[in-house]
Amino acid sequence: MSNKLTLIWRIALVVLVLIINLGFSNPALSAALDAGLGNNLENNFSNPKPAYTEEQLQAGNALTQKAFALTEQGKFAQAESYWTELIEEFPENPALWSNRGNAKVSQNNLKSAIADFDEAIKLAPTATDPYLNRGTAWEGLQEWEQAIADYRQVLELDPEDAMGYNNLGNAFAGRGEWQEAIAYYQKATELAPNFAFARANYALALYQIGETAKSLQTMQNIVRKYPQFADMRAALTAVLWHEGKQGEAESNWVAAVGLDPRYRNLQWLEVNRRWPPQMVTALEKFLKLQ
C-alpha cells in the first residue's frame, strides 16, 4: 500500500439526510447514484507529512469503514468520535473534516459542522462536496444567502453538478422564491433525468404556485417509476384528496405511512422535510377529514 490514507467523500449530505431522516427507498437512492451524483466520491488525498506506516494506514482505513457503518445506522455521535480520532491522526485529509461535519449536521450541531467544512475547504478548495455540505448546514440555520453562495461555488467548480442545482433550488425555496426554485430544480433534472429527489422537489414547488395539474402528473410519473417513494406517495395523497379522488388518496396514504410513519407529523413535514406551505396545508386537510 502506498503512503496515503485511502478515504472517500461520501454522497453529499443532502442525499444522506434524505435517506436517513426522510426514509426514501433504495430505488430512489439508486436513481441518484445512476444520475452520476457520486462522481466526486472516490478521491484519495496524499498526506505528505509525516510519512505514515503501513500499520497506521490500515488502522485509519478500518476506522473509516466503522464510521461509515455507524452513519448508515444513524449512530451519528459514535461516527463523529471516529472521525475525530482520524482527524487527530491525519489532520491534513480534507475528507475527514467534511465527513465529521456531516455527522455534526445530522445531530443538528450546525455551527460546529460549519467550522469543520471550513477546514475541509481550506485543505481542498477545489473539491465541491465541502461547499455542498456547508450550504446544507447554512440552510439548517436559515442563512439562505450563505447557502446560496456555497451552492454557486459548487456550480462554478462543476457547472454540471445536478445536486448543486437542486440545493440551490432548496435555498431559494427557503426564501419563498418559488419560481427561481423551480428553474433550478428543472436544471437539476435536465442534467440528471433519474434524479428523483430533484424531480420531487420540482413537483412540490409546482403545487405551491398553483400549477396543480402539472404537479399531479409529475408526482404520478415519479410514483410509477419509484412506487416505494414515500414522499411522493404522501404528496399524491394530499393532491388527490383535494381533487375529490378519495379512493386513490387513501390508497397512497396507506402506502406512504407504511413506508414512513413520520408523514403523519405535520410539524416534521414543515420543519424537517420542508414541504412548501400549500402542500402542508393540503395534507392537513386530508388528515382532519380522514
User: Could you give the domains of the chain?
Assistant: 4-25+42-183 (1.25.40.10)
Which residues fall within 8 angstroms of residue 200, CB to CB, at 6 or more apart? 219, 222, 229, 231, 232, 235
pLDDT of residue 289: 83
Long-range CB pairs of 206-215, under 8 A, 24+ apart, other chains included: 206/182, 207/235, 207/239, 207/276, 207/278, 207/279, 207/282, 208/178, 208/276, 208/277, 208/278, 208/279, 209/178, 209/179, 209/182, 212/239, 212/242, 212/243, 215/239
The vertex-24 CA angle with 20 and 27, nearest 5°, equals 125
**Which DSSP letter does residue 177 get?**
-
Q: For 261, how many CA atoms within 13 A lie in the half-sphere containing its CB? A: 0
Name the β-bridge partners of 46. Answer: 4
d(CA 205, CA 121): 32
Could you identify the residue written with the cell 433504495?
26
Q: CA dist 86 to 44, 60, 193, 262, Å?
A: 15, 6, 37, 35
pLDDT of residue 52: 81
pLDDT of residue 90: 94
pLDDT of residue 50: 59
pLDDT of residue 9: 52
pLDDT of residue 51: 75
Cα-flanking dihedrals φ and ψ of residue 8, to 5°? Answer: -130, 150
- Tell me the mean pLDDT per 10 residues along the chain, length 290: 44 39 35 32 42 87 94 95 96 95 95 98 96 96 97 98 97 97 98 96 98 98 97 98 95 97 95 95 91
Pull the grid cell for residue 252: 397512497
pLDDT of residue 27: 34
